[in-house]
């Protein structure tokens, strides 16, 4: 038995040594350069290159990129076993440059592009396959576009603003130069990026090595590297022809605080029917996400914030700042708390305590228990609704809540003039006998039960404000940050009751307040209705 064990250990050891001594993968390409010769300006040509693994370990092709969108490379297999061979199809579309040239093509044009293979071969981590062609002008059928203005020299001395943009591109790629000179660079200058450096990595091969080194240092995944790369400092990395709206949104000050570093890839060109349909983005956390081309980058930033436990508010305007949002929530809570329903029940309850000849401290104690019970009841209702809203479409729920707020505001306006006609708001009559029963007990537990009953019955009276704000919280915050806002909202909700409780020190003052409330009930309903409608409209405008 011991002998078998020794043989087993020996076999395993020898196998491990053999594996450890296996040579790494070794890439071999059938051709490092290919010349298509003379082709027409409308031609699309292709060739095939063989890729062989001459090593003893699997060869992995980590990414395949090209120096221009006019050149495509299609790999048959990304993983090549030792001794196996796969094919790489290279397609060059000369017609993709028609209409993008700065001037009509009047003489043969020599073009050079490069296909880059990133591999796990330690000796050749990147392999270049160069293609060349001589494009003839006589077969051009589409009229060229008028000459574009010559780009300004960018030597790093901008007019105001700070920031550095380093661009690695192929100057022979007409689409790239048009995208840079007519679209991206003007936008960057507009946004205050003064230092813009352009580096052609075809005519100056050392720029390609520099690009790879920079990408490695910033840990840019190989599959997120395109034919055109723009480094905006070390925070934003644009790959390919990224839509300008995405660039603009990424550079907004309020959005730059929401990510540490981000990579966006859109490597297709719009010319010759190859219009982009999506883009990829990665914020150095979680998985790479892909979105339709017209999806705002803020959608990803919100997901990224949730992954990193950050707030997901999208304050893209001054009115949507943190202070403005907080003011809206607190103001709505105060409006909801200025509620004749709760006032009437509190005054009636305190009057009842006075009839029992309770001391002022006992009255205050009972009043605080009553208010605390209302607070917890209303908070529990809000938590339940907020949880439901988070499961559905929060923006839709916010709009529905705003609509309900506007509707109940209109009902309040109606009640100010025709109370009791048609549908009116007020403390529900259902359970009134039960409420009165617990009120007459006048013990602290009974007072807590009374507060719970009033909180339940009060919700239909001014619940439109509550539902509208809850929908807004579901759409604009995470559940945890929404919970903080919810707690603050309910503090403001019971604040008028607390002020009223401490203001009522004797029967005479309480009677005056009760009479004032009765005399101005119409004005209270009118004001509350107007503010509810204004808040509802404000929430709807928030999402426009």
Distance CA(481)–CA(474), nearest Å, equals: 10
Tell which residue, 336, 339, 366, has the closest CA to residue 350: 366
Check: CB of residue 161 under 8 Å from CB of residue 188.
no
Please tell me whether residues 356 and 300 are part of one structural domain: no
Among candidate residues 89, 119, 136, the one where a domain is terminated: 136
Please tell me whether residues 431 and 337 are part of one structural domain: yes
Residue 19, in any domain of the structure: no
Distance CA(161)–CA(464), nearest Å, equals: 47
Count of Cβ atoms closer than 10 Å to residue 283 Cβ: 21
CA atoms within 13 A on the CB side of 276: 20
Grouping H, G, I as helix, E, B as strand and the rest as coil, residue 107 is: coil
Count of Cβ atoms closer than 10 Å to residue 68 Cβ: 26
Check: CB of residue 337 under 8 Å from CB of residue 379.
no
Grouping H, G, I as helix, E, B as strand and the rest as coil, residue 117 is: strand
Residue 384: give the domain boundaries: 318-542
Please report where in the chains the tokens 């660079």 appear, as a residue. Answer: 185
Distance CA(200)–CA(208), nearest Å, equals: 8
Please tell me whether residues 54 and 177 are part of one structural domain: no
Please tell me whether residues 300 and 322 are part of one structural domain: no
Please tell me whether residues 296 and 357 are part of one structural domain: no
Tallying the residues shown for the chain, one arrives at 544
Among candidate residues 274, 307, 340, the one where a domain is terminated: 307
Q: What is the DSSP letter of 156?
A: S
CATH code (residue 103): 2.60.40.10
The DSSP secondary structure of 363-412, one letter per residue, reads HHHHHHHHHHHHHHHHHHHHHHHHHHHHHS-HHHHHHHHHHHHHHHHHHH
Residue 7, in any domain of the structure: no
Residue 6, in any domain of the structure: no
Please tell me whether residues 272 and 126 are part of one structural domain: no
Distance CA(292)–CA(299), nearest Å, equals: 11
Among candidate residues 283, 307, 331, the one where a domain is terminated: 307
pTM over 0.85: no
Residue 312, in any domain of the structure: no
Please tell me whether residues 364 and 443 are part of one structural domain: yes
417 contacts: CB under 8 Å, gap ≥ 6: 522
Query: Residue 338 phi/psi, 5° resolution?
Result: -80, 75
* 299, containing H or E segment: helix 297-307
Tell me which long-range contacts 507-513 makes (C-beta under 8 A, separation of at least 24): 507/351, 507/354, 510/347, 510/350, 510/351, 510/354, 513/347
Tell which residue, 77, 67, 148, 169, has the closest CA to residue 112: 67
Neighbour order of strands in the sheet with 27-29: 27-29, 44-53, 85-93, 71-75
Residue 154, in any domain of the structure: no
pLDDT score for 160 = 31
Residue 111, in any domain of the structure: yes
pLDDT score for 195 = 87
Check: CB of residue 382 under 8 Å from CB of residue 482.
no
Between 444-476 and 360-391, two packed helices, what is the crossing angle to 10 degrees?
A: 30
Please tell me whether residues 384 and 498 are part of one structural domain: yes
CA atoms within 13 A on the CB side of 394: 19
Grouping H, G, I as helix, E, B as strand and the rest as coil, residue 30 is: coil
Grouping H, G, I as helix, E, B as strand and the rest as coil, residue 182 is: helix
| Proportion of the chain above pLDDT 90, given as a percent | 22
Residue 333, in any domain of the structure: yes
pLDDT score for 108 = 75
Distance CA(223)–CA(191), nearest Å, equals: 29
Grouping H, G, I as helix, E, B as strand and the rest as coil, residue 188 is: helix
Q: What is the DSSP letter of 179?
A: I
pLDDT score for 6 = 60
Check: CB of residue 489 under 8 Å from CB of residue 378.
no
Grouping H, G, I as helix, E, B as strand and the rest as coil, residue 482 is: helix
Please tell me whether residues 520 and 381 are part of one structural domain: yes
Check: CB of residue 22 under 8 Å from CB of residue 65.
no
Please tell me whether residues 178 and 129 are part of one structural domain: no
Please tell me whether residues 281 and 401 are part of one structural domain: no
Residue 16, in any domain of the structure: no
Check: CB of residue 474 under 8 Å from CB of residue 397.
yes
Number of domains composing the chain: 3
Please tell me whether residues 70 and 117 are part of one structural domain: yes
Tokens of 85: 């061979």
3-state secondary structure 190-257: HCCCCEEEEEECCCCHHHHHHHHHHHHHCCCCHHHCCCCEEEECCCEEEEECCCHHHHHHHCCHHHHC
Chunked mean pLDDT (size 10), the chain, 544 residues: 56 50 82 83 86 92 88 91 92 71 64 91 91 72 40 33 80 88 91 89 89 91 92 93 92 85 88 77 91 89 76 42 73 75 62 61 78 84 70 53 67 68 51 53 68 67 68 67 83 83 62 62 69 67 52
Count of Cβ atoms closer than 10 Å to residue 372 Cβ: 15
């Amino acid at each position: 038995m011991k002998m078998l064990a020794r043989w087993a250990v020996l076999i395993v050891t020898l196998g491990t040594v053999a594996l450890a001594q296996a040579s790494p993968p070794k890439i071999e390409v059938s051709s490092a350069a290919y010349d298509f010769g003379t082709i027409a300006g409308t031609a699309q040509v292709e060739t095939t290159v063989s890729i062989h693994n001459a090593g003893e370990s699997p060869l992995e092709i980590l990414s395949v990129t090209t120096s221009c969108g006019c050149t495509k490379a299609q790999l048959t297999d990304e993983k090549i076993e030792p001794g196996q061979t796969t094919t790489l199809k290279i397609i060059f579309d000369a017609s993709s440059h028609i209409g993008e040239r700065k001037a009509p093509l009047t003489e043969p044009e020599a073009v050079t592009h490069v296909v880059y293979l990133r591999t796990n071969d330690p000796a050749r981590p990147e392999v270049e396959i160069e293609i060349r062609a001589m494009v003839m002008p006589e077969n051009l059928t589409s009229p060229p576009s008028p000459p574009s203005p010559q780009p300004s020299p960018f030597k790093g001395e901008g007019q105001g603003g700070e920031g550095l943009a380093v661009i690695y591109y192929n100057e022979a790629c007409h689409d790239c130069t048009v995208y840079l000179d007519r679209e991206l660079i003007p936008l960057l200058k507009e946004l205050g990026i003064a230092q813009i450096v352009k580096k052609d990595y075809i005519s100056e091969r050392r720029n390609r090595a520099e690009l790879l080194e920079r990408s490695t240092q910033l840990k840019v995944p190989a599959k997120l590297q395109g034919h055109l790369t723009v480094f905006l400092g070390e925070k934003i990395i644009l790959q390919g022809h990224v839509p300008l709206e995405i660039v603009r949104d990424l550079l907004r000050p309020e959005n730059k605080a929401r990510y540490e570093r981000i990579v966006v890839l859109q490597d297709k060109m719009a010319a010759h029917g190859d219009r982009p349909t999506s883009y990829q983005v990665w914020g150095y956390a979680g998985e790479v996400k892909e979105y339709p081309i017209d999806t705002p980058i803020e959608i990803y930033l919100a997901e990224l914030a949730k992954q990193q436990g950050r707030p997901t508010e999208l304050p893209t305007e001054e009115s949507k700042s943190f202070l403005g949002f907080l003011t809206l929530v607190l103001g709505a809570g105060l409006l909801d708390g200025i509620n004749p329903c709760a006032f009437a029940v509190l005054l009636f309850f305190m009057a009842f305590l006075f009839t029992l000849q309770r001391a002022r401290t006992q009255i205050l104690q009972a009043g605080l228990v009553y208010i605390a019970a209302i607070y917890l009841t209303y908070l529990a209702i809000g938590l339940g609704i907020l949880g439901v809203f988070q499961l559905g479409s929060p923006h839709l729920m916010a709009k529905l809540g705003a609509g309900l707020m506007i509707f109940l505001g209109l009902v309040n306006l109606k009640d100010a003039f025709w109370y009791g006609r048609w549908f009116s708001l007020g403390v529900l009559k259902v359970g009134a006998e039960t409420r009165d029963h617990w009120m007459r007990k006048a013990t602290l537990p009974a007072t807590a039960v009374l507060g719970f009953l009033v909180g339940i019955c009060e919700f239909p009276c001014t619940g439109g404000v509550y539902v509208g704000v809850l929908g807004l919280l579901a759409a604009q915050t995470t559940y945890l940050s929404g919970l903080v806002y919810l707690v603050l909202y309910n503090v403001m909700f019971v604040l008028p009751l607390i002020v009223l409780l401490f203001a009522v020190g004797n029967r005479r003052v309480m009677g005056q307040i009760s009479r004032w409330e009765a005399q101005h009930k119409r004005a209270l309903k009118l004001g509350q209705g107007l503010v509810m409608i204004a808040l509802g409209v404000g929430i709807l405008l928030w999402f426009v």
